[in-house]
Amino acid sequence: MRYEHVPWKNNREVNMAQTKTFSIQGMHCASCVRILEKSLGKVPGVERASVNLATGKATVVCGGQVTDEKLASAVANVGYKAMVGHQEQTLDEEKEQKTRELKDLRTKVLVSLGLAAPIVWGSFPGLIQTSPSFLQDFIVQFLLALPVQFWAGLTFYRATIPALRHRTANMDTLVALGTSVAFIYSTVVTFFPQMVSQAGIEPMPYFDVTAVIIGLILLGRYFEAKAKAGTSEAIKKLIGLQAKTARVVRAGKEIDISIDQVQIGDIIRVRPGEKIPVDGVITEGESSIDESMVTGESIPVDKTRGDKVIGATMNKSGSFLYKAEKVGQETLLAQIIKLVEEAQGSKAPIQRLADLISSYFVPVVIMLAIATFVSWYVFGQQSAFLFAMLNSIAVLIIACPCAMGLATPTAIMVGTGRGAEHGILIKDAESLEIANKINVVIFDKTGTLTNGKPIVTDIVTSDKAKVTKEKLLQLAASLEKGSEHSLAEAIVKKADEQGVALYKVTGFKAIPGHGVEGMVGKQKVFLGNRKMMEKEKIDIEPTRSHLVGLESAGKTVMMLAVDGKLIGLVAVADTVKDTAKDGVLALQKMGIETVMITGDNARTAKAIAGQVGIKRVLAEVLPQDKEAEVRKIQAEGKKVAMVGDGINDAPALAASDVGIAMGSGTDVAIEAGNITLINRDLRSVARAVDLSKKTMGIIRQNLFWAFGYNIILIPVAMGVLYPLTGWLLSPALASFAMAASSISVVANSLRLKNARL
């Protein structure tokens, strides 16, 4: 990893110089850096180009005439790919374009409804008598409707014409078709009334219908676009979390540099109230850090030297120095963003039916509109032509393919975003859908339900030995100092915490499967299990009752003997996570069976399971057999979620219906599971299932509404209720219902934003 500079090409002042920073794909080594810098440096107008292998970015200082395209082509010429202003640029562009579109739409809505109002006043039965006579003039109505149809409504034609050229159709086609029919008929009535009269039809234009339809549909689009912007808020918020600069210590000086220029190994200063720029490990100082924005964990975490910090989290109290370990696309935040983006681009299986229907929908609606026209014309009584025309227009307008298209993706967008806010990363929409059907959750024990690090839980002294607990710990820790066993580590750590000074040990010997022995001064000391005591013929009777009690609580007990006499016991155990019991209980309350799987013996396993409230225990399962156990439960006809750390239980996670990987700070095993919990909070398992249930609930409501709306209202618009009830749907009312339908689907999805998890 290196950072190289190309020297200035010349010393003249750079007029109108600008700095462009962009990502480059395809770099592997330092020679790539040189090739790229050389190629970029050759672009006329480029004053300086530096390429950073670590961050995968190029920084170019150049004159105003150098375009992004020229830089991209210089990069492409040597076989790499430049993402010139990629993510930020696209986001800004998107935002800018959206703002422009919304503004434009708003103007069109105001103008079209503003022009529709006088037309309605001058033509609507009941209102017409109150209107000034000029508004009743057909030519005035035509002039008012003209800009609505061809300026505000231009958007429908612009979408329809190229679509027809490709022999496809969408909602705009239906609107363009419906309003055009009404507009052309009304124009004929206005300018050639005798033609209509001769056909026995009262010459009455429908400019009110065309203007109101266009006005209301555009109004609907306006609200829909505003609501849709809310569905992608979570990802925008995540991208916005990224710090812009970092205060890096270089050559003994602290300098502020752009985040893109931070390299792995840089020492970065973070002061109170500042954002941590990239992922790394604290080298000096300590602080309390608010990680809620990334992990969803609400309580600030105290961190000190050696602890990992996450980029984009907030330093609260202290000032510290840390070493950058992950930069650019490698940071936790970048990975989270990528995962959420991918999930939002995936498709839930529930959408399949909507997909199938949407590909036939618009042509079928056009065919139904033709059938409606024919039926009303042939079988209608009086004014058959007008009924035929208005009802077929109503059919074209009421049909709402958008609601079906929006039903699932908007809910997935909001649901996955909401999950990310709580430290629940969902890999794809399919996982979200399956999680809703889960009825068994299997927890791996070590490192998942427990902290995975044994600690000393009990120190028991023998009544006869007359030693203090401190002395016992002192002897045990002195002996274990030379051992590498994880239990030894726990004992030495305990002594360290209590400030106990250690003895010098001579003749240390570790006996595998038994324990350790050594000389402390002139005393021969043994620390080990029952087997060791039996071997050394040491009587364990004085502490037997304690021993049995501790062992049945699932703890590992080691006995300490000095000169052939037992003086006490040290019990070591893995502790359960604070959130384990509540996490298990929350799942049980949802009616989900909880199971624990472990390689430990049945007694230890049961003790831990008892502490967290799990009844079904699969003990003494070798790591390679965990997958088979998952399959056995699936064979019972159950949908299984497996919760593990994603490292040594990856096959079991993969075999389960939904693999849930517990991440740990920056080492997120994102690839391991279908769902990754970055906050290590076991209550998040139930939250993930809850989120899935809520999202799927919303999707079902949306699909039910979108299908139901079309299935019920299209026949109503066709006039099937007319023979029974005399009901017909006016085209203007149809446009209102259509606009309301797609807004309601998006608004329903947005409810997930406020869902309690």
Partner 1 sequence: MELKDLLVIGLGFVGIIFTYWFFLGKKPSFAEATGGQGIDVVVEGGYSPEVISIPRGKTTKINFIRKDSNSCLEEVVLPDFKIKKYLPLNQKVTIEITPQKSGEFGYSCGMNMYHGKIIVR
Give the catalytic positions in this structure.
444
Tokens 């014409």 found at: 161
Among 370, 511, 628, 712, binds partner 1 (CB under 8 A): 370
Of residues 155-174, which lie at the interface with partner 1 (CB under 8 A)? Answer: 155, 158-159, 161-172
Binding-site member from 360, 552, 565, 624 for partner 1 (CB under 8 A):
360
The size of the interface with partner 1 (CB under 8 A), counted in residues, is 53
Residue 97 C-beta: closest distance to partner 1, Å = 6
Nearest residue (CB) to partner 1, 170 versus 474: 170
SS (H, E, C) 486-499: HHHHHHHHHHHHCC
**Residues with Cβ within 8 Å of residue 569, at least 6 apart in sequence:** 458, 459, 460, 543, 546, 547, 550, 557, 558, 559, 560
Residue 405 binds partner 1, judged by CB under 8 A:
yes
Q: Judged by CB, which is closer to partner 1: 354, or 459? A: 354
* Residue 610 Cα to chain centre, angstroms: 34
- Contact pick of 109, 116, 301, 404 for partner 1 (by CB under 8 A): 404
| Member of 78, 184, 195, 367 binding partner 1 (CB under 8 A) | 367
Measured from the Cβ of residue 49, the count of other Cβ atoms closer than 10 Å reads 24
Cα separations (Å) of 294 from 238, 310, 571, 665, 673?
8, 8, 37, 10, 18
- Residue whose CB is less far from partner 1, 60 or 177: 177
| Phi, psi (deg, nearest 5) at residue 528 | -175, -170
CB of 370 to partner 1, least distance (A): 4
Q: Which residues of 21-38 are buried (b: 16+ CB within 10 A; e: fewer)?
A: bbbbeebeeeebbebbbe
Smallest gap from Cβ 431 to partner 1, in A, equals 11
Q: By CB under 8 A, is residue 371 in contact with partner 1?
A: yes
Cβ atoms of residues 149 and 209 within 8 Å:
no
Taking the least distance from each CB to partner 1, the nearer of 167 and 466 is 167
Task: Quote the least distance from Cβ 148 to partner 1, whole Å.
Answer: 19
Bridge partners (DSSP) listed for residue 434: none
79: left (phi over 0), alpha (psi -120 to 50) or beta: left
Which is nearest to 694 in space by CA: 347, 433, 453, 486?
433
Q: How far apart are CA 394 and CA 738, in angstroms?
A: 10
Nearest to 644 by CA among 620, 621, 666, 669: 669
CB of 164 to partner 1, least distance (A): 7
The alpha carbons of the chain give a radius of gyration, in whole angstroms, of: 36
Which listed residue (355, 497, 534, 541) binds partner 1 by CB under 8 A? 355
Cβ closest to partner 1, residue 361 vs residue 526: 361
User: Between β-strands 505-511 and 314-315, what pairing exists: parallel, antiparallel or unpaired?
Assistant: unpaired
CA distances from 432 to 347, 354, 426, 491, 695 (A): 10, 18, 7, 43, 8
Asked if 406 interacts with partner 1 (CB under 8 A), we say yes
Residue-by-residue DSSP string for 420-486: HHTTEEE--HHHHHHHTT--EEEEEIIIIIEEEEEEEEEEEE-TTT---HHHHHHHHHHHHTT---H
Site for partner 1 in 583-622 (CB under 8 A): none
Site string for partner 1, 96-125 (x = CB under 8 A): -x---x------------------------
Q: Which is nearer to partner 1, 428 or 517 (CB)?
A: 428
The one among 17, 225, 229, 602 contacting partner 1 by CB under 8 A: 225
In the complex, least distance from residue 499 CB atom to partner 1, rounded to whole angstroms = 54
State the minimum distance, in angstroms, from the CB of residue 354 to partner 1.
7
Candidates 208, 279, 421, 428: give the one binding partner 1 (CB under 8 A): 428
Q: Which is nearer to partner 1, 107 or 283 (CB)?
A: 107
What's the rounded Cα separation, in Å, for the pair 386 and 204? Answer: 10
Cα distance between residue 257 and residue 182, in whole Å: 63
- Give, as ranges, the residues between 429 and 448 that touch partner 1 (CB under 8 A): 429
In angstroms, what is the minimal distance from the CB of 156 to partner 1? 9
Choice between 56 and 311, CB closer to partner 1: 56
Backbone CA torsion sign across 30, 32, 33, 37: positive
Residue of 88, 93, 256, 497 that binds partner 1 (CB under 8 A): 93
Question: What residues numbered 62-91 form the site for partner 1, per CB under 8 A?
Answer: 90
Residue 387 Cβ vs partner 1, minimum distance, rounded to whole Å: 13
For partner 1, give the closer residue by CB, 290 or 430: 430
Residues 306-345 that bind partner 1 (CB under 8 A): 341-345
Binding site for partner 1 (CB under 8 A): 90, 93-94, 97, 101, 155, 158-159, 161-172, 221, 225, 341-347, 351, 354-355, 358-360, 362-363, 366-367, 370-371, 373-374, 377-378, 401-402, 404-406, 409, 428-429
